């Protein structure tokens, strides 16, 4: 008997799964890059609040560091 010839076929499910995994990895990399900027902002906020809370209550320091100190001025 003759052995059957192997036909080279693409397994489309594996190819699609691989493409989906690559796209997901790319999206997660973009999220990680953007979280670095959020981390810098959070560090700035922490430093600002620590410095401002020496002179005023913490709630006032948070408002001032968020740029809303004029809106919430107590008269």
Enclosing domain of residue 22: 12-65
Give the pLDDT confidence of 11-45 residue by residue, as tens digits: 889 999 999 999 999 999 999 999 988 899 899 99
pTM equals: 0.53
Q: What whole-number distance in Å separates Cα of residue 49 and Cα of residue 66?
A: 10
| pLDDT, position 1 | 58
Is 55 within a domain? Answer: yes
DSSP string, the chain: -PPPPPP----HHHHHHHHHHHHHHHHHHHHHHHHHHHHHHHHHHHHHHHHHTTTS-HHHHHHHHTT-TTTT---
| pLDDT, position 29 | 95
Is 43 within a domain? Answer: yes
| pLDDT, position 75 | 53
Q: What whole-number distance in Å separates Cα of residue 41 and Cα of residue 34?
A: 11
| pLDDT, position 22 | 98
Is 2 within a domain? Answer: no
């Amino acid at each position: 008997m003759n052995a059957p010839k192997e036909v080279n076929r693409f397994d489309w499910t594996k190819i699609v799964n691989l493409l989906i995994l690559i796209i997901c990895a790319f999206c997660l990399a973009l999220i990680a890059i953007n979280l670095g900027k959020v981390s810098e902002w959070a560090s700035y906020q922490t430093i600002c609040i620590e410095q401002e809370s020496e002179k005023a209550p913490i709630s006032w320091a948070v408002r001032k560091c968020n740029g809303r100190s004029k809106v919430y001025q107590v008269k």
